[in-house]
Amino acid sequence: MATAFLKKAEPRPHAESNDIRDTVAIMLINIEREGEDAVRRYGQTLDQWSGDIVLSDAARKAACDRVPESLKSDIQFAHANIKRFAEAQKATMGECEIEVIPGLIAGQRQIPVSSAGCYVPGGRYSHVASALMTITTAKVAGVAHITAVSPPRPQTGIPDAIIYAMDLGGADLILNLGGVQGVAAMAQGLFGAKPADILVGPGNSYVAEAKRMLFGNVGIDMFAGPTDSLIIADQTASVETVAWDLVSQAEHGADSPVWLVSTDRTLAEGVMARVPELIDCLPEPNASAARIAWDDRAEVVLCDSREEAANVADQYAPEHLQVQADDLDWWLSRLSAYGSLFLGKETTVSFGDKTAGPNHVLPTSGAARYTGGLSVHKFTKTVTWQRCNEEASHELALRTARISRVEGMEGHARAAELRRR
């Protein structure tokens, strides 16, 4: 036996994604043509919000003042960890200068983008942590202007806790906007925002599609789909712990797959039996969302060795990868495709989602095969420069002209040869 599916999901249908693309394309065209008027209209229709789009300084302060001190302390704890980790990342980004050949000096600089647009999801859940993850990281990177948007609640606007997190993170401008209209407003620089050089942050399928369509004119953190999570567990793992970790991630929504890869049949079957029971313990609408995710999207794979389990995990390339197994150092060195890795029974994706420090904006839908998550690097341009003296210029000109003529590029050759005089 190599691998065997104890539970397998059906492929996700594509018809809905075509409808989303069409809807988003129309919205972006209308906003490009009509600007702020179209954004306000979409905000009224989709968010049921007819209040101020720009959150004033007074409204920001009032919202922050309403947040209980105990919650402020928790948000400050998370912010400090995220900031500390982002600063450690930034410290790894070096500039350099080298004499490539005598007289030719070349170098590398790290330059933050000028402006960033940070999308903070709202809707069913108030994603306080997403505000911290995106805005704080941009601030540490040195971004000069940060605009943040989040879907306003009807009559009340953005929840106070999210506003407090945005303010603590360092947002320069906060807009009561969600969905495609929020993304487009940041990209175009509407309502006093500086046009975003990069758009970051998780969101629903419409937000993700808007970012995909705008990519090129602006940068984006990554192409993102529904969140996903995979657990590798062996005979040392706890059925209860593994089951709750799967349920906690299925809670994100009906389209959020969770996967279990195990080398122990008894454990795998125990988890499969326990998960539905735990889902029934959740309040609504969390339970309904998790139940659909488990029934329709979850998979359980049985492997005959840890190497085979690692191979399966690399093929899935999950956003979140948990290991609840012996010899954690082996897994750390062996696994190669994931957004963020959680090692040992003492840690959980929930820590990473909220307070631990490493960013929770991560590649989904297998994108971890070729990219990592949001970091200070995403807000920074690695650029190069060069200069040379007459001696180096003579040598470069000679060889550049020869290569240019082999390529058929006479203009390049002549521009190079001017430097030989």
The active-site residue out of 320, 346, 407, 410 is 320
Please tell me the class of the 226-369 domain: alpha beta
- The dihedrals phi and psi of 56, each to the nearest 5 degrees, come to -70, 165
Is the pLDDT at 273 greater than 90? The verdict is yes
Banded model confidence at residue 170, pLDDT cuts 50, 70, 90: very high
The structure tokens 């175009």 sit at: 188
Assigned architecture for domain 16-220: 3-Layer(aba) Sandwich (3.40)
Is the pLDDT at 15 greater than 60? The verdict is no
Banded model confidence at residue 13, pLDDT cuts 50, 70, 90: low
Average pLDDT, integer, range 126-140? 95
Collect all residues with Cβ–Cβ distance below 8 Å to 260 and sequence separation of at least 6: 230, 231, 233, 242, 246, 268, 271, 298, 299, 300, 301
Look up the pTM and report it: 0.92
Evaluate whether 118 touches 131 at the Cβ level (below 8 Å): yes
Q: Is 69 a catalytic residue?
A: no
**Domain parsing of the chain, residue ranges:** 16-220, 226-369, 389-420
Q: What is the pLDDT of residues 194-248, one digit of tens each?
A: 999 999 999 989 999 999 999 999 999 998 888 999 999 999 999 999 999 999 9
Q: Is 97 a catalytic residue?
A: no
Is the pLDDT at 284 greater than 70? The verdict is yes
The active-site residue out of 307, 319, 394, 412 is 319
Evaluate whether 230 touches 210 at the Cβ level (below 8 Å): no
Q: What is the pLDDT of residues 370-404, one digit of tens each?
A: 999 999 999 999 999 999 999 999 999 999 999 99
Q: What is the pLDDT of residues 320-350, one digit of tens each?
A: 999 999 999 999 999 999 999 999 999 999 9
- The dihedrals phi and psi of 301, each to the nearest 5 degrees, come to -120, 130
Q: What is the pLDDT of residue 18?
A: 84
- Do 16-220 and 226-369 show the same overall fold? yes
Q: What is the pLDDT of residues 63-120, one digit of tens each?
A: 999 999 999 999 999 999 999 999 999 999 999 999 999 999 999 999 999 999 999 9
